[in-house]
């Protein structure tokens, strides 16, 4: 018995164990379907994840029963039922912590212009499975109330799963023409499952990359987030860049592929960015951090626009400023929430601040400004800056880490002495107005900004010193 046969036995055993446990949990549901003469199949990603030992609390089922019948059965059995997807043949329910979606067999047709199918109900399980995106998602397990089950794999998904391959049930050109979103899903599954894409699928993705423009930005955004939160997002991004799909959905990432000048060499910025992403992920403590991951991938996207070789050496002056603008602009086009756009943009903007100082060169003022500008992003900024060290020169790497360790220590020391998380002027607006005899207006804001600058530069001032500096500033105006 070879290793693949052994692996097949293992995944089938996991699937069988999952089927047995679900048959017990869902016995009431299964018996109701059986009484009406309808089978019920665990299907798609639920079967795949069961075989991989990673099944969650969202269960997908298919059945020949029409949606009206499915809804009636669920309302008899489930704790909660909702039918927001009923136009597409899907009814959802919740039962003992499980979210269940049951979709009637489908045999849809597509118009070739949008990804919205004309919903056509099917009559066979095989007809339903062949319309799915990938073979590994085209397997089904019929669950029965007596605890038995039957595995169905007409497309050969089990072999692909054991080999870690993503291939389409039908010709990939047909599949992607029907629904171009499947190309993004291929990259997403590379990230989530660490599978590779079959050669014929990669070729079709490259040939049909422009078809992704038929997909709404909201759907692109959702798939990109799932990709970025996978276990290997760098591999998923690589698929998008290599096939040319990134040229349409996030061209600034593709642009990181810059050809080094013969006489002014620089590291491969694209490869560096993927390494920084990987190293940022390695520092995560509580699961995927979407903001940190995007910032790590995008931290150098300003380099193509700032590349300069006029001095005989390649430079990228102010690439963090340009990069922050580019990141904000692209994420806005992809309709990311404003708060996330700002956080990612600010991390890109700040990632070079550390490199403006060397060992033993951080003044108290510089430390205060670093912490204040980062604000709540400081823990992420620490991780991003550390991840940005990809040099193969071990001595340089140790020096950079030592310098950053020193900065973190300085922050901790000042934090014990001052409230760095909330650096504010030593006088509030009401005191400023009373001392200077002002009414509310822009001059109060200017005075407040002056005092905050003094606080950052000199640390906490006692009240009399703060008043003296304020009066001196006012008189100089």
Whether 153 and 34 map to the same domain: the answer is yes
Q: Do 354 and 400 belong to one domain? A: yes
In a domain, 470, yes or no: yes
User: Are residues 307 and 180 located together in one domain of the fold?
Assistant: no
Residue 263 lies in a domain: no
Of the candidates 110, 137, 163, which is a domain's last residue?
Answer: 163
**Could you tell me the CATH number of the domain that includes residue 127?**
3.30.460.10
Report the pLDDT value the prediction gives residue 262, as an integer from 0 to 100.
43
Q: Domain for residue 258, yes or no?
A: no
Place of tokens 């066979």: 124
Q: Which two tokens stand for residue 364?
A: 């108290």
Residue 42's H or E segment, with its range, is strand 40-43
Q: What share of the chain is helix, strand, coil (3-state, %, to 5)?
A: 60, 10, 30
Task: Examine the fold and report which residue of 189, 217, 249 is the final residue of a domain before the chain moves on.
Answer: 249
Report the chain's terminal Cα–Cα distance, integer Å: 88
Domain CATH for 294: 1.10.3210
Residue with tokens 């955004």: 221
**Residue 207 and residue 301 share a domain:** no
Residue 61 lies in a domain: yes
Question: Are the C-beta atoms of 249 and 184 separated by less than 8 Å?
Answer: yes
**CATH, residue 176:** 1.10.110.30
- In a shared domain, residues 179 and 153: no
Domains in the chain, number: 4
Model pLDDT for residues 82-127, shown as the tens digit of each residue: 988 888 899 999 999 999 999 999 876 665 565 566 778 888 999 9
Tally Cβ neighbours within 10 Å of residue 157: 26
pLDDT of 263: 42
Q: Rounded to an integer, what distance in angstroms lies between the CA atom of residue 268 and that of residue 238?
A: 14
Query: What pLDDT, on a 0 to 100 scale, did the predictor assign at position 460?
Result: 72
Each residue of 145-155: pLDDT tens digit? Answer: 888 899 999 99
What local confidence, expressed as pLDDT, does residue 264 receive?
47
Order of strands across the sheet that contains 140-143: 80-82, 90-95, 98-104, 58-63, 40-43, 140-143, 149-152
On whether the CB atoms of residues 72 and 32 are closer than 8 A, the answer is no
SS3 for 334? coil
| Alpha-helical regions (H) of 302-461 | 303-306, 319-333, 338-350, 364-374, 378-387, 394-417, 429-436, 442-458
- Tell me, yes or no, whether 55 and 178 share the same domain: no
Domain that holds residue 325: 268-423
Domain membership flag for residue 262: no
Considering the domain boundaries, does residue 261 fall inside one? no
3-state secondary structure of 99: strand
In a domain? residue 183: yes
Q: Are residues 412 and 432 in the same domain?
A: no
Nearest to 368 by CA among 437, 318, 420, 408: 420
Shared domain for 8 and 146, answered yes or no, is yes
Strand partners, 92: 82, 101
pLDDT at res. 12:
77
Buried b (16+ CB within 10 A) or exposed e, 82-106: ebeebeebbbbbebeebebbbbbbb
Residue 255 within a domain: no
The pLDDT of residue 91 is: 96
Q: Considering 216, 249, 282, which residue would you say is the last residue of a domain?
A: 249
301 and 183 together in one domain: no
Indicate whether 431 and 419 sit together in one domain: no
Q: Which residues of the chain have pLDDT under 70?
A: 1-7, 108-117, 259-267, 356-360, 418-428, 470
Residue 286 and residue 309 share a domain: yes
Q: Are residues 116 and 183 in the same domain?
A: no
Q: Give the pLDDT score at 422.
A: 60
């Amino acid at each position: 018995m070879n290793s693949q046969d052994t692996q097949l036995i293992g995944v089938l055993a996991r699937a069988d164990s999952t089927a047995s446990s679900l048959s017990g949990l869902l016995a009431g549901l299964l018996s109701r379907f059986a009484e009406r003469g309808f089978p019920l199949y665990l299907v798609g990603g639920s079967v795949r994840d069961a075989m991989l030992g990673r099944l969650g609390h969202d269960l997908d089922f298919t059945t020949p029963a029409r949606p009206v019948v499915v809804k009636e059965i669920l309302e008899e059995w489930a704790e909660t039922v909702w039918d927001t997807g009923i136009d597409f043949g899907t009814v959802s329910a919740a039962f003992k912590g499980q979210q269940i979606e049951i979709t009637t067999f489908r045999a849809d047709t597509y118009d070739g212009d949008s990804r919205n199918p004309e919903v056509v109900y099917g009559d066979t399980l095989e007809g339903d499975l062949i319309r799915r995106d990938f073979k590994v998602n085209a397997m089904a397990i019929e669950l029965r109330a007596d605890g038995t089950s039957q595995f169905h794999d007409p497309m050969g998904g089990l072999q692909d799963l054991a080999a870690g391959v993503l291939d389409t049930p039908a010709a990939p050109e047909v599949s992607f023409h029907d629904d171009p979103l499947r190309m993004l899903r291929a990259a997403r599954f590379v990230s989530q499952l660490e599978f590779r894409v079959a050669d014929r699928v990669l070729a079709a993705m490259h040939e049909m990359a422009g078809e992704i423009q038929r997909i709404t930005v909201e759907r692109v955004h959702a798939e990109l987030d799932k990709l970025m939160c996978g276990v290997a997002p760098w591999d998923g991004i690589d698929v998008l860049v290599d096939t040319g799909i990134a040229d349409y959905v996030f061209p600034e990432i593709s642009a990181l592929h810059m050809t080094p000048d013969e006489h002014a060499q620089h590291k491969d910025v694209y490869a560096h960015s993927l390494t920084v992403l990987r190293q940022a992920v390695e520092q995560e403590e509580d699961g995927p951090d979407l903001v940190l991951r995007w910032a790590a991938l995008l931290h150098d996207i300003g380099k193509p626009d700032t590349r300069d070789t006029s001095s005989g050496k390649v430079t990228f002056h102010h690439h963090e400023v340009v990069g922050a603008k580019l990141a904000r602009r692209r994420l806005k086009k992809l309709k990311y929430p404003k708060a996330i756009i700002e956080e990612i943009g600010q991390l890109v903007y700040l990632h070079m601040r550390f490199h403006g100082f060397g060992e033993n060169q951080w003044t108290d003022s510089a430390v205060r400004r670093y912490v204040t500008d980062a604000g709540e992003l400081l823990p992420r900024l620490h991780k991003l800056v550390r991840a940005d060290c990809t040099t193969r020169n071990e001595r340089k790497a140790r020096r950079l880490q030592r310098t950053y360790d020193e900065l973190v220590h300085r922050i901790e020391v000042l934090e014990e002495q001052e409230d760095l998380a909330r650096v504010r002027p030593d006088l509030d607006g009401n005191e400023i107005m009373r001392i200077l005899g002002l009414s509310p207006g822009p001059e109060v804001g200017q005075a407040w900004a002056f005092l905050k600058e003094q606080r950052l530069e000199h640390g906490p001032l006692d009240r009399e010193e703060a008043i003296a500096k304020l009066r001196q500033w006012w008189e100089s105006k």
